[in-house]
Amino acid sequence: MTDKKDIILFGPGKIGQALCEQLVNAIDRYYLPLRITAIVDSSGYVHNAAGFTPEQLQKLINAKNEGAPLRTLPESNNTAAIAQHFDLNTILIDTSNAQALYPVLLKGLKKGCSLVMCNKNNLIQPWPVAEPFYSSANVGYESTVCAGTPVIAALRNLVSGFDDVEYIEGCLSGTLNYIFSALEQDLSYAQAIENAHMLGYTEPDPRDDLNGMDTARKALIMARTVGWPLELDDIEVESLYPEEFHAYTKDQFFQRLKRLNGYTQQLRQQAMAESMTLRYVSAVNPNGGFCQLKAVARDSEYGLLDNTANKLMIHSRVHNHIPLMIAGAGAGAEITALGLMADLLNLAGI
Ligand SMILES: NC(=O)c1ccc[n+]([C@@H]2O[C@H](COP(=O)([O-])OP(=O)(O)OC[C@H]3O[C@@H](n4cnc5c(N)ncnc54)[C@H](OP(=O)(O)O)[C@@H]3O)[C@@H](O)[C@H]2O)c1
């Protein structure tokens, strides 16, 4: 048996590739006892028991970036067989956007693998389904909230120190923060959304940010981390576009974007008249929470946030007069990969 930990990466997309790059550099520079032994996409996987060389890894990534599913490569395997490579020495990394990985990741946990993920899908399942991922000491999910900004680590520290978290509040969406701070530059709502999309800050379909659900998922993950077994339904979510826009295709949505200008107009004018500004604010407590567009003072903790920044305030028994505040970049491949890397090294005991 080798003293190296085997890494199996599910999801060689933007974040997965950024992590591979950081890993290859760190393994080389710090002689880390780690090796990447399998890459898995939605079509199949490629395995190398000795660990991929940087050149082999780059070849796989190049193939993916040229649009080739892994199953089309001669050395590929059927995903159903991946669990044969799981043992106590294995670290599974989920940088995919898949829901379908739940059974295979759970199987990994049961076989004693460690698991690191930035994919929120398993953590937002109904509580009895998601619970094993929260209760296992072998799971890290720092990058699911505020990219790699260490929010989950802070919450876990409070819990393990027997502090009682009472209330968590914050601006949790880098994309929505970009859009609403851009309105202060006299852009229309439609222009701000379009700019955010062009800069790559939104999901491919911006409605996936504007419907508030991604933010609600982050709020749910934080709540569950501090021991509140809430469900998504316990969080009231305000969508930032009207109901009728649900039915459009992505192209139709963009064609009708200007019609959204009226949607936030009244709130925006009212806020401006009172020297306030708009921010998408989320909050959770043991009983539930909300994600809502709110007017906040321009010089407040949230009003001063610009670009894709996130800010979080944690109120607890100990952090009561002054909440524990965490701010940082809320999106981006490099910072998300950094959070994954921190979890990975932690679980590998390095
Ligand atoms: N971007 C950010 O700042 C950020 C921050 C925090 C968290 N995240 C999360 O990070 C994850 C990845 O984001 P991304 O931007 O890297 O997405 P992406 O570029 O679309 O990559 C997704 C990857 O997942 C793979 N995949 C899909 N289904 C799979 C399956 N069943 N098994 C294995 N692999 C599968 C896809 O492979 P195929 O080519 O086969 O479809 C693709 O390689 C998402 O869950 C996202 O929510 C992103």
**Tens place of pLDDT per residue across the chain (350 aa):** 568 999 999 999 999 999 999 999 999 999 999 999 999 999 999 999 999 999 999 999 999 999 999 999 999 999 999 999 999 999 999 999 999 999 999 999 999 999 999 999 999 999 999 999 999 999 999 999 998 899 999 999 999 999 999 999 999 999 999 999 999 988 999 999 999 999 888 888 999 999 999 999 999 999 999 999 999 999 999 999 999 999 999 999 999 999 999 888 888 889 989 999 999 999 999 999 999 999 999 999 999 999 999 999 999 999 999 999 999 988 788 999 999 999 999 999 99
10 lines ligand 1 (CB under 6 A): yes
Q: Is 218 a catalytic residue?
A: yes
Instruction: Residues 160-330: name the CATH superfamily.
Output: Dihydrodipicolinate Reductase; domain 2 (3.30.360.10)
98 lines ligand 1 (CB under 6 A): yes
Do the Cβ atoms of 266 and 203 come closer than 8 Å? no
330 lines ligand 1 (CB under 6 A): no
Strand order in the sheet with 139-140: 76-77, 45-47, 34-40, 5-10, 90-94, 114-117, 139-140
**C-alpha 229 – ligand 1 centre gap (Å):** 26
Question: Which CATH number describes the domain made up of 5-147+334-348?
Answer: 3.40.50.720
Q: Where are the beta strands (DSSP E) in the chain?
A: 5-10, 34-40, 45-47, 76-77, 90-94, 114-117, 139-140, 165-171, 235-237, 276-285, 288-297, 309-316, 324-329
101 lines ligand 1 (CB under 6 A): yes
- What is the predicted pLDDT for the residue at 148? 86
Query: Which is catalytic among the residues 5, 64, 218, 311?
Result: 218
Name every residue whose Cβ is closer than 8 Å to that of residue 299 and which is 6 or more positions away in sequence. Answer: none
Could you state, in order of their start, the residue ranges of all structural domains in the chain? 5-147+334-348, 160-330
**C-alpha 118 – ligand 1 centre gap (Å):** 9
Beta pairing, strands 165-171 & 45-47: unpaired
Q: Which residue has the tokens 């990447």?
A: 36
Q: Enter the DSSP assignment of 281.
A: E
**C-alpha 215 – ligand 1 centre gap (Å):** 17
Q: Enter the DSSP assignment of 248.
A: S
95 lines ligand 1 (CB under 6 A): yes
How many other CB atoms are found less than 10 A from the CB of residue 273? 8
What pTM, to 2 d.p., does this model score? 0.95
Residue nearest to atom 17 of ligand 1 (CA): 13
The DSSP element (H or E) to which 63 belongs, if any, is helix 54-65
DSSP state string for 69-100: -GGGSTTEE-GGGGGGG-STTEEEEE-S--ST
Please choose from 8, 17, 42 the residue to mutate so as to test ligand 1's pocket, defined by most ligand atoms within 8 A of CB.
Answer: 42
43 lines ligand 1 (CB under 6 A): yes
Q: Which residue has the tokens 């199953």?
A: 71
Q: Enter the DSSP assignment of 150.
A: S
- What is the predicted pLDDT for the residue at 2? 67
264 phi/psi in degrees, rounded to 5: -105, 0
How many other CB atoms are found less than 10 A from the CB of residue 249? 9
